[in-house]
Structure 1
Amino acid sequence: MKIFRHLFRFYINSSIHVGLSCLALFCITQQQLFFSSLFSLVLFVFLGTVFAYNFVKYESLIRRRKNTIRKELKAIVGFSGLVFLGLLYYCFQLRFQTQLGGFFIVALTLLYALPFFPNRSNARNWKGIKIYIVSLCWTLATVFLPALEGDFSLDVMVFVYGLQRFLLVFVLILIFEIVDLKNDDPLLQTVPQQIGVERTKKLGFGLLVLFLALDFLNGNFSLLSLFFILVTAFFLAFANEKRSHYYTLFWVEAIPIFWWIFLILYK
């Protein structure tokens, strides 16, 4: 039982789970917008998500504690190194315009993680901006990269779909911010810190209603999408500061994964 606990911790802490969540949203895009299967881009998005999250989470920790890194973190660093090599390989399999899109996401990630400007912290610590950068990166990776690689016309439908994806990720992050409220630095000015938990939940519910309205407009509405929006609303409604971190790190991040699985079965 102990070995399974360690494997599960590694699965969560090495960002494999969040990588699968991003991959699931990517595959949902492929199925709903009828993009062809792009194996190289699928792996690029998955590996890129895993590496980006590990970089953001552990870069400063490794830099500050070079001589006191515990074994699990060393394993994650080694794993991330292999992920990075795979990421580079599949990057060179992509079309040039997709590489440019990927480079832009990398630039946003570095801006989010590293302090580029004198006397300024990184963008992660800029008041209130974190949620917008993360939502934008996920939207670009799961909607616009497959459109670029597949040479799909960036018409109104794609941009409306991209707006939907941004709204969905935004709401999922709101759940994280509510659960992490007692641990987040007040200077971060997350949404719950600015407007309170109850107003944050009302904001999230409103954005989910807007998501469904755009679903009708885009012609993608189905009982399946309604079901998973209700599931998201359920997790938002019951989010609070006393919830375990696994409430978000596993269950909330699993929503896109189950959505993808059910979409495959539904089709």
Structure 2
Amino acid sequence: MKLAKRLFDFYLDASIHVAFAVLALMEVTAILLNITIDGHLKFFVFFGTLTAYNFVKYGVEADKYILVANRYHKNIQFVSLIALVIASYSAFYLNINEWYLMLGLLFLTGLYAVPFLPRTKNLRNLAGLKIFIVALVWAGITVVLPSFEKTTVIPWDVAIETIQRILLVLVLLVPFEIRDLKYDDATLKTLPQRFGVHKTLVFGGFSAIILYGLTFLKEDLTPLDAIAKGILFLILGHIMLYTKKEESKYYASFWVEAIPIFWWISILLVEIGI
């Protein structure tokens, strides 16, 4: 049992879980926009996400990421290096425009973690910007990148899907913002710090309503899309109703981050039924 718990904690701490979540959202995009995603791009996104998230979490402090002292962080470092190698190999199969788009997203991710000017804060620490930077990057990777240069997609529908993905990530980040309320520096001015837990949950619920409503503005709205967004709306509504200031250790880090994976699986099941 202890071994299983250690492996599970490593699965979360090494960002493998969040990498699966990002890949799941990319697969959702492929289904809803009826496009095919190249296998190399999937590998690049999965392993690139793993590497990038570990850099954001541990890379800012060299003694946690480069000059590693303990075995646990060495193992995370080793997994990150392997992931970086695989992502770099897969990157060679991306076309030049995909490279430009990814470089822009990677640059934004870098600014999120590393100060961009001497004696300045990184974007992660600029008041109120953190969740919007994360949402923008996730939407870019999971919607814009896979649909980029696909001639079969309707640009308006891609724009709607991108906005919906931004809103989805903002809602999913609410439990994390509430969880970290007691740890975050007051200068961060996160949503719970500014408006309190209740109003932050109301913001999440209102965002979920907008997300679902935008579905019906698509030019090529399929029954699968409407059902899929309906399922997502119910899941997000449940999360906003039952998220509390004090939650279990794995509530946000596993269950909330698993929502994209569960959503993808539910869409596959609905697709089989239809």
TM-score (norm 1): 0.95
Choose which of 259, 264, 273 in structure 2 pairs with 1:260.
264
Q: Which amino acid aligns with 1:158?
A: V
The answer for unaligned runs of 5 or more in structure 2 is: none
Alpha-carbon distance in structure 1 between the residues aligned to 2:120 and 2:160: 35
Distance, in Å, in 1 between the alignment partners of 2:58 and 2:249 is 17
Which amino acid letter does the alignment assign opposite residue 127 of structure 1?
Answer: A
Which residue of structure 1 lines up, in the alignment, with residue 55 of structure 2? Answer: 55
| CA drift at 1:264 | 1.1
SS at match of 1:222: helix
Q: 2-side partners of 1:178 and 1:131: how far apart?
A: 12
Tell whether the 8 Å contact from 2:202 to 2:240 is kept in structure 1 after alignment: no
Which moved further from structure 2: 220-229 or 162-171? Answer: 220-229
Partner of 1:42: 42
Any idea what the Cα deviations from partners look like across 1:22-55, whole Å, max 9, x if unmatched? 1110000000001113111111111111111100
Name the SS of the counterpart of 1:180 in structure 2. helix
Cα 1:27/1:205, change in 2 over 3 Å: same
| Bigger mean CA deviation after superposition, 223-232 or 8-17 | 223-232
Give unmatched runs, 5+ long, in structure 1. Answer: none
Offset, 1:119: 1.4
Cα deviation for residue 233 of structure 1 reads 1.7
- More deviation, 106-115/237-246: 237-246
Shift of the 176–144 alpha-carbon distance from structure 1 to 2, 3 Å rule, reads same
1:166 is matched with 166
- Contact 2:68/2:74, CA 8 A, preserved across alignment: no
Aligned length: 267
Give the stretch that moved more between structures: 222-231 or 13-22.
222-231
Residue of structure 1 equivalent to 2:155 = 155
CA shift in 2, pair 1:45/1:152, >3 Å: farther
Q: Counterparts of 2:154 and 2:107 in 1: how far apart (Å)?
A: 22
2:246, 2:103 → 1: CA distance? Answer: 38
C-alpha displacement of 1:67: 5.4
Tell me which residue corresponds to 1:124. 124
Contact in 2 for aligned 1:182/1:241 (Cα 8 Å): no
Q: CA deviation at 1:95?
A: 1.2
Distance 1:151 1:56, change over 3 A: farther
Aligned-residue sequence identity (percent) comes to 38
CA contact (8 A) 1:26 1:142 kept: yes
d(CA) in 2 for partners of 1:206 and 1:52? Answer: 30
Match of 1:247 in 2: 251
Q: Which residue of 2 aligns with 1:184?
A: 184
Q: Supply the distance in 2 between the matched residues of 1:245 and 1:189 (Cα, whole angstroms).
A: 23
What secondary structure does 2:60 align onto?
Answer: helix
Partner of 1:15: 15
Contact map agreement 1:36 1:150 (CA 8 A) in 2: no
Question: Retained in 2: the 8 A contact 1:139–1:162?
Answer: yes
Q: CA 1:68 to 1:217, structure 2 compared with 1: closer, same or farther past 3 Å? A: closer
Matched, 1:223 2:230: no
Question: What is aligned with 1:208?
Answer: 208
- 8 Å CA contact 1:115, 1:122 repeated in 2: yes
One-letter amino acid of the counterpart of residue 268, structure 2? I
Read off the aligned partner of 2:24 and give its amino acid letter. Answer: A
CA distance in 1, matches of 2:149, 2:70: 40
Report the AA paired with residue 265 of structure 2: I
Inter-partner Cα distance in structure 2 for 1:137 and 1:7: 28
**SS of match in other structure, 1:181:** helix
RMSD (Å) for aligned C-alpha atoms: 1.7
- Cα distance in 1 for partners of 2:141, 2:181 equals 27
Q: Deviations over 1:176-197 (max 9, x none)?
A: 1012111111111111111111
Q: 1:186-238: per-residue Cα shift (whole Å, max 9, x none)?
A: 11111111111111111111111111111122225433421222112211222
The worse-fitting range, judged by mean Cα deviation, of 178-187 and 213-222 is: 213-222
